[in-house]
Amino acid sequence: MVRAAVLPAVGAPLEVVGIELPDPGPGQVRVRLAAAGVCHSDLSLSDGTLRVPVPAVLGHEGAGTVVAVGEGVGHVAPGAGVVLNWAPSCGRCHACSLGEVWLCANALDGAAAVHARTADGTELHPGLNVAAFAEETVVPASCVLPAPDGVPLADAALLGCAVLTGYGAVRHAARVREGETVAVYGAGGVGLAALQAARIAGASKIVAVDVSPAKEGLARAAGATDYVVASEDTAREIRARTGGQGVDAAVECVGRAATIRAAWESTRRGGRTTVVGIGGKDQRVTFNALEIFHWGRTLSGCVYGNSDPARDLPVLAAHVRAGRLDLGALVTERIGLDGIPAAFANMLAGRGGRALVVF
């Protein structure tokens, strides 16, 4: 029996209860969690913005130590540190054949499986494949990657979503080049990672935007050269700080129609807007045909930072070891499983960066 944070139904509060995990079967791995990050996607799962079978054990950003492996698992062994990969690519679908593994059509197939049971026998599903809000979890072998050397295991949890997404959004999706100007909307965990990525890329001006004045210190520590408290004049303010032109690239990490529109308007003519935030179906963004022609801007979505975890984790680890990427700077609170509901409330209120559940 291990403790886990369970979502009993969409919209219901999380319950920390004991669950029974099966022994790892063929092609499975049992992992004892060192830490798990509390991501906005977990909040989106709990309120129904993203749909998964319930009841479910949430949590998809984590790292830990292998306890046991099932038959046929060869790339990790008991005692090894691993990072959880919540969106493993199948290698067979059309997206995978194009090398776009972040768009794998079968990545979330595991979310429909029975993952564990409560003491009364209720079947539980893994919210986004890996069920990281638990002291231990059992996952497909494709969902674990060897933890990089030289990175503390608790910090490595952040590599599994926030950093892959934020860094990838800047590096792979927005393709920020040295000397360019960048605006990052949202200074939560993903946004702070994007700010660090823009700094690593050599951006000449990095404007952080958030609703909270209290996050300015976090944003500047991550690499922001400017800070703007979000308002109806945000886009105008960013253009004023870039000689009236607007930034070369804007990265939206909020997932709201108003911020997507503001990010679009804050880019220069021919600029690039990358949407990372996950919004609901009711969040509608409108454009007129003339402005699309006149401004020549591009608007693109971004899934998981357009990242390939197997390719990108070693790159991120090299940045960490060299001191260019500070994982600890993303974390504003270290909590237990019981602290997750309060972390959700903080996200809704726009407070803090990443909350990290430390086991």
pLDDT tens by residue, 107-148: 999 988 999 999 999 999 999 999 999 999 999 999 999 999
Determine the Cα–Cα distance for residues 191 and 254; give it in Å rounded to an integer: 9
**Host H or E run for residue 345:** helix 340-348
Determine the Cα–Cα distance for residues 275 and 267; give it in Å rounded to an integer: 13
The residue ranges of every structural domain in the chain are 2-160+326-358, 166-304
**Host H or E run for residue 118:** strand 116-118
For the cut 90, the answer to whether the pLDDT of residue 49 exceeds it is: no
According to the model, what pLDDT value does residue 280 have?
Answer: 87
Mean pLDDT along residues 197-208: 98
Residue 52: pLDDT band (50, 70, 90) is: confident
Residue 349: pLDDT band (50, 70, 90) is: confident
According to the model, what pLDDT value does residue 50 have?
Answer: 86
For the cut 90, the answer to whether the pLDDT of residue 51 exceeds it is: no
> Percentage of residues in the chain with pLDDT exceeding 90?
93
Measuring CA to CA, which residue among 90, 86, 187 is closest to residue 130?
86
According to the model, what pLDDT value does residue 132 have?
Answer: 97
pLDDT tens by residue, 166-184: 999 999 999 999 999 999 9
3-state secondary structure of 60: coil
State the pTM of this model: 0.95
According to the model, what pLDDT value does residue 240 have?
Answer: 97
Averaged pLDDT of the chain? 96
For the cut 90, the answer to whether the pLDDT of residue 205 exceeds it is: yes
Residue 185: pLDDT band (50, 70, 90) is: very high
CATH number belonging to the domain at 166-304, selected among 3.40.190.10, 1.10.10.10, 3.40.50.720, 3.90.1010.10: 3.40.50.720
For strand 15-20 and strand 2-7, is the pairing parallel, antiparallel, or unpaired?
antiparallel
pLDDT tens by residue, 58-97: 999 999 999 999 999 999 999 999 999 999 999 999 999 9
According to the model, what pLDDT value does residue 105 have?
Answer: 97
According to the model, what pLDDT value does residue 48 have?
Answer: 87
According to the model, what pLDDT value does residue 352 have?
Answer: 85
Which architecture does CATH list for 2-160+326-358?
A: Alpha-Beta Complex (3.90)
According to the model, what pLDDT value does residue 350 have?
Answer: 85
Instruction: Please check whether residue 184 is in contact with residue 198, taking contact to mean a CB–CB distance below 8 angstroms.
Output: yes
Instruction: Please check whether residue 208 is in contact with residue 230, taking contact to mean a CB–CB distance below 8 angstroms.
Output: no
**CB under 8 Å to 65, separation ≥6 — which residues?**
31, 32, 34, 79, 80, 81, 82, 153
pLDDT tens by residue, 233-272: 999 999 999 999 999 999 999 999 999 999 999 999 999 9
Mean pLDDT along residues 295-319: 96
According to the model, what pLDDT value does residue 324 have?
Answer: 97
Amino acid at 55: P
